[in-house]
Structure 1
């Protein structure tokens, strides 16, 4: 009988396959070498001469089992409370204001989670542009949004009302030249790569170079994005400091992370970092053994060296093709009838690997992917339609954008004095004022979050289209939605899939007891209803669900 001697070495890889697997080099004499991707676990195997073929087969099966365990342990659940779906990005809000929003609006209206702007100390830049939040000075939890005590209180208050927090984390880089002092009082010298607030020194960064060729993966991942000092995530000290930062946030009760600029980091390095993260804090209501939900910013529109499939084995990705494609459809560049096979057929990652959105804080300003096709609050009818489709369709984990208004794409959030962020005001219809757009408070959007909650678990059924830009579908027998993006009215008898009864159209109004402030629709015993959407309507959508039955 053979005696197997194993030694393990975790090392960074620079060219991993997309899917985790074991590779075994058994062509040479012992010791045999094995590797588990994408975590680059190298295993040396020594064998004493004997009848080794059967032993190798047994050991190989064991290794394969271990590989499947590693894959199964990857966490792709957003850790929402039961009965809730969908998150909102409260871009540049203050922590105290977010806590109140969780209690007063997000919780009561069924939102499951919220993404916050970066929480760690950033460089103070002239004019206070929004992008200063993406220039780290240290991992101290003090920004214009508030300090650590305020952040911790916010997370606790939001968790208490069923709303989970996801932090936008920036650890691809530190601040560029000119970022000499930060929001927590730390100082730095980016020109010499000195960031004592962490501390990081020149030993922790990749050599200085700029990205000029996105078809060169080494350049994209090892060089500096627009002059931002590029950290080496394969460096053990860097890994230690990043893991310490993320685990501290987990201890405070967050549910997961948006990983900024993930495309500019090696998947193998990220895999090591993710693998060292603690389970979520059960004191905040998470189940024992729950892992942080990770969605990685990987802009992949095709035609470049780096693919999102290199990252989907270790976390979800922000699916920019969804944003681009939904914008083209509802701008009229693609017909709505083509949405019948919405999902992976459009080049998207798998549903549980896709964080989907109509727009985000970057591409609504012309940064990132999508260009002029991206829909924003500036074209409200098409934006409402696209948001309603995203929330009605079962594909992906949707994220609603909540903006502040801007004309200058560098413009920061509303302030009281040019420096301190102003709190949003609220109108009688629950919309925002004071320079805040608050798309998440638009009736057509928050009611579609309730629609998604009502439809949870139901498959897409009863697809109908008119051969161009009028479509409808049901979510099993729980919900029904119709869209009209043609320049003429929709007037058709359609199969809703719903039980017989009268329903409130949650796009035009809200259910108020046994009445509706908007249109009501009667569904017959056969599930059919007369559906009408005027081409001149402000929103172009009609939506019904079982919780809006009158």
Structure 2
């Protein structure tokens, strides 16, 4: 996001505005639904934020494919700002994470690697059964600097061979605010034609701009990309989003691209997330992650919320089939809206709930450790991101945790089965089935609880997938026994869960 403003908090909240695009009205074919890939997979996506391309490729082969992830969201791959001095948004970090949200050209030379490495990563992931979804910045270009990672020079409104001043909204002619930036986020004209935190705002209603954007996105599709998270989609507007999508080709699988739109909540009328559900395949579940945080953690210093309130999770939010859901993303883990990796077991438990409950297309977020909100991912002195090492404290690999991968398999098995046999104690112990396909109990209290639950599953011994897995008819972890009445007596660990599906019978 633009760092021409000194407000780092605004930058951290707004900088990376993007979603996978959803329902595509006005197209000749039906819009893309939830992403699917490979046998034994449904729609679970990993979001490997600011991992380099070689590391993503390795993860697709070593973890994502075997664990049953259907897709991976990767970071904005276009050539972007490369800062050469401190200030202008960060006085302490030369190469903050938000550099990539200021594109300079649509060449694929970035902090994450070269174009050849990007293409190889997509091919490798697809061979592993994992589709690739790209974070796409189409609303704006840069807000500062003059040099890119690809070695290009530029100015705020001049990008050689791509855009000139006539391709941007300008103060006085288009933008009605006194500064040229968005001063009122409830003012429709300002939201669409003024600069978001100082970023040069593209005329996305212009045929030339739409053609350049479509050329870029179609190149990615041609390389095997299956869809996009569209950053700052609220600031593009529905009509321009739909017009751009009409120019996109089908994916290599013959499907329409999956397009998820970043639309932060709180806006009235046509600025609300609900108003964008027809402008793409989905909108980001930015209100949902707030509700998850409030249920699992709440706001008092020692608060733990109440999991019992999640019985109707999804009511009042955007429709499940039109939502890319998550516990956190790179914006909300920094702006206070969501749980973060720093919440430890609570964060893992929330990931398990989302995967088990079935609201939206679930995405598991992994990235790098940070203390300052504008911290750089682990990089070399020139800003190029180094290989991910999940054994290092510098990286946070939530998607690898057994508590999470076990629930990826659970989610894939139960599919669209309804939530049944809900039980709660009015506080922080809940349990529910997914039809007759699977059952889970989650305990957000600090002490284990032992009790008997109705599961709706057939009698037998089952492997607890939160701590083990089935191989050759044997469970690598603890087992639980369902009796002839479909009941199970289990101890649900503190800050933990017990879960199994009918496929986990041993």
Common fold: TM-score over 0.5? yes
CA contact (8 A) 2:54 2:387 kept: no
Partner deviation per Cα, 1:437-495 (whole Å, 9 max, x = no partner): 11111111111111111112322111111222211111122211101123554222111
CA contact (8 A) 1:210 1:224 kept: yes
Partners of 2:329 and 2:415 lie apart in 1 by: 24
Residue of structure 1 in register with 2:383 after alignment: 419
Residue of structure 2 in register with 1:359 after alignment: 328
Which of 308, 321, 336 is equivalent to 1:337? Answer: 308
- The 10-residue stretch of structure 1 (147-156 or 432-441) with the greater mean CA deviation from structure 2: 432-441
1:75 aligns with 2:32: yes
Partners of 2:356 and 2:309 lie apart in 1 by: 16
* Equivalences for residues 30-429 of structure 1 within 5 A: 70=27, 73-84=30-41, 85-125=43-83, 126=85, 127-178=94-145, 180-190=146-156, 193-197=157-161, 199-208=162-171, 209-281=180-252, 286=253, 288=254, 290-301=255-266, 306-315=271-280, 316-332=282-298, 334-343=305-314, 345=315, 347-366=316-335, 371=336, 373-417=337-381, 419-426=383-390
Partners of 1:305 and 1:549 lie apart in 2 by: 49
Partner deviation per Cα, 1:282-340 (whole Å, 9 max, x = no partner): xxxx1x3x100000000013558711222111211001111000010011564222211
Partners of 1:541 and 1:348 lie apart in 2 by: 26
TM-score, structure 2 normalization: 0.87
Q: How many residues align structurally?
A: 460
Q: For the structure 1 residues 402 and 528, does the alpha-carbon distance in structure 2 shift closer, same or farther, using more than 3 Å as the test?
A: same
Partners of 1:520 and 1:129 lie apart in 2 by: 46
Partners of 2:384 and 2:492 lie apart in 1 by: 44
Task: Tell me by how many angstroms 1:405 deviates.
Answer: 0.4
Unaligned runs of 5+ in 2: 1-22, 86-93, 172-179, 299-303
Task: Tell me by how many angstroms 1:513 deviates.
Answer: 4.2
CA contact (8 A) 2:29 2:256 kept: no
Partners of 1:241 and 1:174 lie apart in 2 by: 13
Task: Tell me by how many angstroms 1:161 deviates.
Answer: 1.4
Partner deviation per Cα, 1:324-373 (whole Å, 9 max, x = no partner): 00010011564222211111x2x21111110001000111111xxxx2x5
Task: Tell me by how many angstroms 1:433 deviates.
Answer: 1.7
CA contact (8 A) 1:465 1:471 kept: yes
CA contact (8 A) 1:415 1:421 kept: yes
1:477 aligns with 2:448: no
Task: Tell me by how many angstroms 1:532 deviates.
Answer: 1.3
Partners of 1:547 and 1:421 lie apart in 2 by: 40
Partners of 1:353 and 1:457 lie apart in 2 by: 15
Which of 412, 417, 424 is equivalent to 1:458? Answer: 417
Residue of structure 1 in register with 2:9 after alignment: none
CA contact (8 A) 2:277 2:283 kept: yes
Give secondary structure in 1 for the equivalent of 2:191.
helix
Residue of structure 2 in register with 1:541 after alignment: 497
CA contact (8 A) 1:330 1:386 kept: yes
Partners of 1:92 and 1:487 lie apart in 2 by: 34
1:528 aligns with 2:490: no
Residue of structure 1 in register with 2:301 after alignment: none
Partners of 1:528 and 1:274 lie apart in 2 by: 50
Q: For the structure 1 residues 71 and 542, does the alpha-carbon distance in structure 2 shift closer, same or farther, using more than 3 Å as the test?
A: farther
TM-score, structure 1 normalization: 0.80
CA radius of gyration, larger in: 1
Partners of 1:439 and 1:397 lie apart in 2 by: 17
CA RMSD of aligned residues (A): 2.0
1:447 aligns with 2:406: yes
CA contact (8 A) 1:414 1:434 kept: no
